């Protein structure tokens, strides 16, 4: 019971002055009880730590043997003087031509096998983010006004959305398609969905191809992700048709995978490039806001209306070694976590119809808790791959101590601070953080549990305020923010972390191969100087 109580937070909400009834004219208040993210400091699952070290060892064992061989060979050679070594070579060397040729043949074969079997590095050449037109810009006040004029909501639903917006962290310059506010009309039509997604995707791709000086016919892999809008033909087919791409292109369309689908798409594109080396891959991440819009009365389904906004990103990847000179980043790690086996996690973000058969996206009260468990599993697996050795040593030693000498406190009593495991300092592993801008509350919990600074989450909070929750493309708006501020230097590591329905949590780690100059084309042009804003 105490453990369950620790996951709850309370908040007193002023609901204004009662307008009718026996208490008319009196101020009214309500107590809101919410689940908070689980405290990462109190529990770390050992199996995820083992998984992270398995990843590290499976890729590092070959490199670990090389220094050992060098030390042994060096010790043998070091015991001889220069004259002794030269005499030993001439005295014992065999001048059999067959032996010499066999030796060089084995050497060439070994080097060739190593080069061909080693996975090629994947480079990020450049990326582009969609800036919607000015007529789609909607402030929080205009949102409520237009929603009221649409006639789809009663006053209680409007008041609820207004309260959510005030604490959401969104600013007054986010973008939404005007079709969602059309009175008495279902905005989630195939025509509106195609119009919305094609406008965003084609604008982002036009900019990407122009910036990278790449022809659409040069692209060999295309991956598109959009969670809720999945027409036939697919969105990837729409792109192939619009740009008249090659007939043998490997195209994929991912649907229903939530806000973390952008990293999943990058992972798929990487695998396709490794299987088909020497080409370009384009990853497009977007969401159709008209299909996330809900015009009913159920409050759990009204929440997405307040957060989701228009956005799209297009990324160009390559594993051609000659592209290293013009690439911005190289992909180092991708770690994916899926909690779909747990029923609460599976239903935490769920598309369904309400009592009036109005379709919408339902957000569970358990979302923060299940999201916290997914985040904890993901970052625990990621730690051994990216953390400095000193941090790993402290963390692993504390974890073993906690595992073999567990606390003898009763389950009802809160754990002492001394029994909490050592949580590594992820600020020592990364210079930049691009964490999915879901809401202000989620970012607050992440900052507290991971001990991040305001500067670490500056990009995430700026994107949430300027563009809202743009779903799977939000992490690319955050990277665009860092570039527009001129913060990315050669060797810097960037951590992209996103989570979404299923429930999934995914991480991607990039390393800047050169200093990234301020871009001449960016969605932040004209507004970058206004950020960061005061809390």
253 is catalytic: no
Query: Which DSSP helix (H) or strand (E) runs through 13?
Result: strand 8-17
Count the Cβ atoms, other than its own, within 10 Å of residue 212.
20
pLDDT average, residue stretch 137-162: 94
Residue 40: is its pLDDT beyond 60?
Answer: no
Higher confidence at residue 54 or residue 230? 230
Say whether pLDDT at 33 is over 60: no
432 is catalytic: yes
How far CA 486 is from CA of 249, 383, 516, 527, in Å, comes to: 35, 27, 7, 15
For residue 34, how many other CB atoms are within 10 A of its CB? 14
Between CA 447 and CA 191 the distance in angstroms is 41
Residue 403 has pLDDT above 80, yes or no: no
Q: Which of 25-29, 62-66, 411-415 has the highest mean pLDDT?
A: 25-29
**How many Cα atoms sit within 13 Å of 303 on the Cβ side?**
17
CA gap 108, 120 in Å, rounded: 20
Residue 219 has pLDDT above 80, yes or no: yes
- Distance between first and last Cα of the chain: 35
Q: Which of 16-25, 94-103, 158-167 has the highest mean pLDDT?
A: 158-167
69-73, 419-423, 433-437: the lowest-pLDDT one: 419-423
Q: What is the pLDDT of residue 312?
A: 97
Instruction: Specify whether the backbone of 73 is left (phi greater than 0), alpha (psi in -120 to 50) or beta.
Output: alpha
For 324-393, give the DSSP string: GGT-SEEEEEEEEEE-TTSHHHHTSEEEEE-TT--EEEEE-TTHHHHHHHHHHHHHHHHHHHHS-HHHHH
Give residue 111's pLDDT: 78
Per-residue confidence (pLDDT) for residue 106, from 0 to 100: 79
Q: Give me the pLDDT at residue 409, please.
A: 45
54 catalytic, yes or no? no
Question: In this model, does residue 1 exceed pLDDT 50?
Answer: no
Q: Which of 112-126, 296-310, 496-510 shows the lowest mean pLDDT across its residues?
A: 112-126
Q: At a CB cut-off of 8 Å and minimum separation 6, what does 509 contact?
A: 331, 332, 333, 334, 382, 385, 386, 430, 493, 494, 495, 496
| Whole-number Cα distances in Å, 182 to 144, 295, 405 | 13, 11, 63
Indicate the helix (H) or strand (E) that contains 284: strand 280-286
Q: Which of 93-97, 184-188, 329-333 has the lowest mean pLDDT?
A: 93-97
Q: Give the separation between CA 442 and CA 457, rounded to whole angstroms.
A: 11
pLDDT of residue 280: 96
Q: Is the peptide bond before 532 cis (omega within 30 degrees of 0)?
A: yes
pLDDT at residue number 67:
61
pLDDT at 186 over 80: no
Greatest mean pLDDT among 86-100, 379-393, 421-435, 450-464 lies in: 450-464
Q: Whole-number mean pLDDT of the chain?
A: 84
The residue annotated as part of the active site, out of 253, 306, 319, 432, is 432
Q: pLDDT tens, 360-384?
A: 999 999 898 898 899 988 988 898 8
Q: What is the pLDDT of residue 269?
A: 97
Q: Give mean pLDDT, residues 245-255.
A: 96
Q: Are 314 and 282 in contact (CB under 8 A)?
A: yes
Please choose, from the candidates 284, 286, 269, 254, the residue with its C-alpha nearest in 3D space to the C-alpha of residue 220: 269
Is residue 320 very low, low, confident or very high in pLDDT (cuts 50, 70, 90)?
A: very high
CB 265 within 8 A of CB 225: yes
Catalytic residue among 187, 305, 373, 436: 436
Q: In the predicted model, is pLDDT for residue 411 greater than 80?
A: no
Question: Distance between CA 155 and CA 389 in Å, rounded?
Answer: 57
User: Which residue do the tokens 């073999």 mark?
Assistant: 404
- Of 349, 352, 212, 335, give the one whose Cα is nearest residue 282: 212
Q: Which is the catalytic residue, given 225, 319, 469, 506?
A: 469
Please give the average per-residue pLDDT across 387-398, as a whole number: 79
pLDDT beyond 50 at 286: yes
pLDDT at 109 over 80: no
From 187, 259, 312, 434, active-site residue: 259
> Is 436 noted as a catalytic residue in this protein?
yes
The DSSP secondary-structure symbol of 519 reads P
| Ramachandran angles phi, psi of 221, nearest 5° | -135, 130
């Amino acid at each position: 019971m105490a453990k369950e109580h620790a996951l709850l937070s309370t908040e007193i909400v002023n609901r204004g002055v009662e307008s009718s009834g026996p208490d008319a004219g009196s101020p009214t208040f309500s107590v809101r009880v919410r689940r908070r993210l689980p405290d990462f400091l109190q529990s770390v699952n050992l199996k995820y730590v083992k998984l992270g070290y398995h990843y590290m060892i499976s890729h590092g064992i070959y490199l670990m043997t090389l220094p050992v061989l060098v030390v042994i060979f060096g010790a043998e050679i070091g015991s001889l003087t220069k004259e002794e070594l030269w005499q030993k070579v001439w005295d014992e060397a065999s001048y059999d031509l067959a032996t010499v040729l066999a030796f060089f043949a084995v050497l060439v074969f070994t080097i060739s096998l190593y080069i061909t079997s080693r996975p090629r590095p994947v480079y990020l050449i450049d990326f582009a983010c969609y800036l919607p037109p000015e007529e789609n810009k909607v402030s929080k006040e205009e949102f409520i006004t237009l929603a009221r004029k649409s006639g789809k909501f009663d006053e209680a639903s409007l008041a609820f959305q207004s309260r959510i917006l005030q604490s959401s962290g969104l600013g007054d310059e986010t973008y939404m398609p005007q079709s969602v506010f059309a009175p008495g009309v279902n905005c989630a039509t195939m025509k509106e969905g195609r119009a919305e997604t094609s406008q965003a995707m084609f604008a982002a791709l036009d900019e990407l191809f122009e910036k990278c000086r790449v022809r659409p016919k040069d692209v060999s892999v295309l991956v598109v992700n959009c969670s809720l809008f999945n027409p036939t033909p697919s969105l990837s087919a729409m792109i192939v048709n619009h740009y008249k791409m090659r007939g043998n292109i490997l195209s994929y369309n991912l649907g229903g995978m939530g806000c973390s689908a952008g990293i999943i798409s990058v992972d798929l594109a990487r695998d396709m490039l490794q299987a088909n080396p020497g080409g370009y891959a384009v990853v497009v991440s977007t969401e159709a806001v008209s299909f996330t819009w809900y015009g009913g009365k159920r409050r759990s389904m009204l929440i997405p209306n307040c957060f989701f906004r228009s956005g799209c990103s297009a990324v160009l990847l390559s594993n051609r070694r000659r592209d290293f000179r013009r690439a911005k980043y190289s992909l180092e790690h991708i770690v994916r976590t899926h909690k779909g086996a747990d029923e609460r996690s599976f239903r935490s973000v769920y598309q369904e119809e309400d009592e009036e058969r109005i379709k919408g996206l339902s957000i569970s009260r358990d979302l923060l808790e299940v999201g916290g468990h997914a985040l904890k599993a993901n970052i625990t697996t990621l730690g051994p791959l990216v953390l400095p050795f000193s941090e790993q040593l402290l963390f692993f030693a504390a974890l073993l101590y906690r595992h073999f000498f567990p606390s003898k406190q009763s389950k009802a009593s809160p754990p002492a601070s001394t029994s909490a495991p050592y949580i590594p300092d992820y600020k020592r592993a990364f210079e930049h953080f691009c964490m999915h801008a879901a809401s202000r509350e989620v970012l607050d919990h992440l900052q507290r549990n991971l001990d991040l600074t305001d500067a670490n989450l500056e990009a995430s909070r700026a994107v949430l305020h300027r563009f809202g929750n743009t779903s799977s493309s939000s992490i690319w708006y955050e990277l665009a923010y860092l570039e527009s501020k001129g913060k990315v230097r050669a060797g810097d590591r960037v951590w992209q972390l996103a989570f979404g329905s299923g429930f999934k949590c995914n991480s991607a780690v990039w390393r800047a191969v050169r200093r990234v100059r301020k871009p001449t084309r960016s969605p932040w042009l004209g507004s970058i100087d206004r950020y960061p804003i005061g809390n």
